[in-house]
Amino acid sequence: MTVSSDDKLAVEVTDLKRSFHGKLALNGIDLKIPRGTIQGLVGLNGAGKTTLIRHLIGSLKAEKGQVKVLGQNPAQDPESVLKQVGYMTEEDSLPKWMRVGELIDFCRVIYPTWDDSYAKELAEMFSLSRQTKLKGLSKGQRARAGLLVAIAHRPLLLVLDEPSSGLDPIARSDILEAVIRTISDDGRTVLFSSHLLDEVDRVCDHISLLHDGKILATLRPEDRDNQMQELTYQAALSWQPPIDTDRCFGWRRSGLEWSVVLVQRDDTSTPIFPEATLIERGPVSLQRWFEARVSRKSSISVHESVANGAS
Amino acid sequence: MQINIQSDGLPIYQQIANQIRYRIAARNLKPGDEVPSIRSLAESLRVNPNTVARAYRELETEGMLEKRRTKGTYVAEQDHQQSIRQRARQLEPHLDTLIMYAVQLGLSLDHVTEQLRERIEVLEKRRTKNKEDLA
């Protein structure tokens, strides 16, 4: 393996564009995932998350722009990239006619780095028996089988596309544990795409918000503690909030109270509005930021774009 | 260590730090006790290891925890821990909450201090009883 500057990056996507039937699905994506980190990907349905991920695993070729995974172009040489990647998706895509044991045997042939003892440990931990047909497993157990074959070759990059949707809390917890374990093993990297914002917030180093085929912002969970506040104002019924700015956006009304997300680095400059009284300051949850950011009208992002350590 | 993480409210690193502080204050963790490694606590809580590291860092700065050369992290001896003034400052936000509720309920300062004293007695009794039950 050659050593180069992008050895520090597990994934490097530059100005990636893609359209389906004349409609832009990805509109200039730039994404850098440093090795050894957990990258979260959030966004509404149809934002382009799965399309982006399919470029990373080589099942879609970049129309415009560049995709590099572990230093290689996955569309050019999918086999050599995929050997080092673990992939799990929401769709129940495992061959249901197989038995658990057959699935494991099949995968250990594909992946040169397959770790038999780790696979055995996972099977025991998940109570998966080799004899059971995948068809006969519950949805949660089938997801565990999918997780087993996604991580038992100790991939350098683990890609999870909505792995937890529709699963029970214990199965979801098993997936999260696998995510944490994967990066605890030095140098391994995880891309975690999910609608479950609490889970993303718990495990990720960086979170990128994908909207209309663009990455609107990337931030670290602690950036919200350090640089953002939710302000609540009280105002007369006729009051209208000002238009969104980069610093102050996502006005939401409840009766006579309005709340807004404020991006700031010190306490000196709380916005003051005549006829509106500040009544509360609080932390900004990922959910609140997500909603505010998606609804924000202006498109320039100054404050948040620096948060990605890969810049 | 059984730490509970709630998904709304305080940042997760603060929830972890607070629960360790509470254990140290309640003497469930004593000076010299080893706390779990960052990695194992992160795995059992299903949170990012950097979040646990951040909580530990904060507790180290406060002098509650100390890293040792043998690579573990331990509860610090009492005299390494912060000065009374530093510790008192940490109490301030909680006092603010207490004052807010007291004002809202229309309780006087004297009433609140009296209630505080009574409450400490109740908690002390409960602790002694727990110890006797265990013995």
Could you write out the DSSP letters of every residue in B10-63? S-HHHHHHHHHHHHHHTTSS-TTPEEPPHHHHHHHHTS-HHHHHHHHHHHHHTT
3-state secondary structure (DSSP) of residue A142 = helix
ipTM: 0.77
SS (H, E, C) B105-119: CCCCHHHHHHHHHHH
Measure in Å the smallest separation between the Cα of B121 and chain A Cα atoms.
Answer: 34
Domain B12-80, CATH: 1.10.10.10
- Cα separation, A219 vs A203, whole angstroms: 13
Distance CA A216, CA A54 (A): 20
Are A177 and A125 in contact, with CB atoms under 8 Å apart? no
Domain spans, chain B:
12-80, 84-134
Q: Please compute the mean of the pLDDT values over residues B105-109 and round it to a whole number.
A: 93
A149 in reach of chain B (CB within 8 A): no
Between the CA of residue A250 and those of A12, A219, A231, A265, B8, what are the distances in Å?
31, 17, 11, 18, 19
By residue count, chain B amounts to 135
Please check whether residue A177 touches B, CB under 8 A.
Answer: yes
pLDDT digit string (tens) for B33-82? Answer: 999 999 999 999 999 999 999 999 999 988 889 998 777 899 998 766 66
- Alpha carbon B55 to chain centroid distance? 11
Please, what is the angle between helix A100-110 and helix A116-125, to 10°?
150
Q: What is the mean pLDDT of residues A60-80?
A: 93
Mean pLDDT computed over every residue of chain A? 89
Point out the residue among A181, A198, A205 whose CB comes nearest to the CB of B48. A205
Predicted confidence at residue B27, as pLDDT, reads 80
Residue A4 pLDDT exceeds 70: no
- How far apart CA B80 and CA A278 sit, in angstroms, is 41
For residue A69, the cross-strand partners are A11, A72
What is the reported pTM?
0.84
If you average pLDDT over residues A103-127, what whole number do you get?
95
Pick from B11, B13, B42: CB nearest A180:
B42
Q: Domains in chain A, ordered, with CATH?
A: 5-219 (3.40.50.300), 222-307 (no CATH)
Compare all CA atoms of chain B with the CA of A180 and give the residue at the minimum distance.
Answer: B43
User: Which positions in chain B have a beta carbon within 8 angstroms of at least one beta carbon in chain A?
Assistant: 5, 7-13, 39, 42-43, 46-51, 54
